[in-house]
A and B are shown apart, each in its own frame.
Chain A
Amino acid sequence: MSKESIRTPLGKVRGLGSAKHGAGHFIAQRVSAIALVFLVPWFLISLIGAVRGGYDNALGWIADPINAVLVLLAVGASLYHMRLGMQVVVEDYISKHSTKNILLILNTFICVVLFVAAAYAVLKVAAI
């Protein structure tokens, strides 16, 4: 055991620690953040115009091909980004193994369900 190590002998024997996936998570969180810096302002400004004119205006907004692509990009990048973020929140605060794993799986399910619902909605309107 080297002098510099701050790990306890018990910790070394248990072998727990980094799963060596941290850098990938870190980078994915930031790359999606960079995409969202551009997508979210567009989405907000565009959406405010879309909600103003009632149902037909909303339908027409989604049906526009450029809007449809950008909406799916914005929602997709948001869901990807928030899945990564919520994963960290759960890992930070929930130490009980079973609860933590259930919440992590639930987090993934929620983000996938929301994405499929959004993709279905946009394609149903725009891909006629």
Chain B
Amino acid sequence: MSDWTDKRPMSPHTSIWKWHLTMASSILHRVTGVGNYLGIFIVVAWLFATAVGPDYYEPLSAVVGSIWGQLILFGFSLSISYHLLNGLRHLMMDTGTGYKPKFASFTAGFVFVLALALAVGIWIFSGLVPGVDPLNMTGA
């Protein structure tokens, strides 16, 4: 028996906590939210550059089209698809369902896999990857 006498609830001891899927899911939801915050700068820059003219649009296209630009864009896609799908999970949990530990862990893991599949699927099937265009989206 410890000599802890304070009746108030204690915070979880972070040093003796192990990783759970639901915990990783919660943290990743916040991380991807911040990621999307940064990513929308690219979207607004693209809209702005399109409105101002080719002098702005073409350099931006070149940066976004470079290998680093494409990597960042893919990361942004992953971030959006995760936050969107896990957001749906959150909306479901807001109704009070899905809190049983096993089911909550399952949906957390399911969203990880689905988000990755969605982002990769978008890139492959929309013809964004050079040389990969199974649905002939680019009309080549």
Do A and B come from the same complex?
yes
A residues in contact with B88, CB < 8 Å = 37
A6 on interface, CB distance cutoff 8 Å? yes
State the CA gap A29–B121 with chains docked (Å): 28
Q: Contacts A37-B88, A121-B50, A122-B51 hold; do A44 and B122 have CB atoms under 8 A apart?
A: yes
* A-B contact list, 29 entries, CB within 8 Å: A6-B7, A30-B91, A30-B94, A37-B84, A40-B84, A41-B84, A44-B80, A52-B127, A52-B138, A55-B54, A55-B61, A58-B50, A58-B57, A75-B47, A78-B40, A79-B40, A86-B34, A89-B33, A114-B40, A114-B41, A114-B44, A117-B44, A120-B51, A121-B44, A121-B47, A121-B50, A122-B47, A124-B51, A125-B51
Q: Which of A1-46 contact B (CB under 8 A)?
A: 6, 8, 30, 33-34, 36-37, 40-41, 44
Q: By DSSP majority rule, is chain B's interface helix, strand, loop, or mixed?
A: helix
Q: By DSSP majority rule, is chain A's interface helix, strand, loop, or mixed?
A: helix
Chain A interfacial residues counted at CB < 8 A? 34
A82 on interface, CB distance cutoff 8 Å? yes
Given contacts A58-B46, A82-B33, 13 further A-B contacts (CB under 8 A): A33-B90, A34-B91, A36-B84, A37-B87, A47-B43, A48-B122, A55-B50, A58-B57, A62-B51, A89-B33, A118-B43, A118-B44, A125-B51
Minimum-distance CB pairs A-B, first 9? A121-B51, A121-B47, A124-B51, A6-B8, A121-B48, A48-B126, A58-B50, A85-B33, A82-B37
State the CA gap A86–B32 with chains docked (Å): 11
State the CA gap A71–B41 with chains docked (Å): 14
A59 on interface, CB distance cutoff 8 Å? yes
Size category, B interface: 35 or more
CB of A42, distance to nearest CB on chain B (Å): 12
Q: Which of B25-62 contact A (CB under 8 A)?
A: 30, 33-34, 36-37, 40-41, 43-44, 46-48, 50-52, 54, 57-58, 61
What is the interface of chain B, defined by CB distance below 8 A to chain A?
Answer: 7-9, 30, 33-34, 36-37, 40-41, 43-44, 46-48, 50-52, 54, 57-58, 61, 77, 80, 84, 87-88, 90-91, 94, 122, 126-128, 137-138
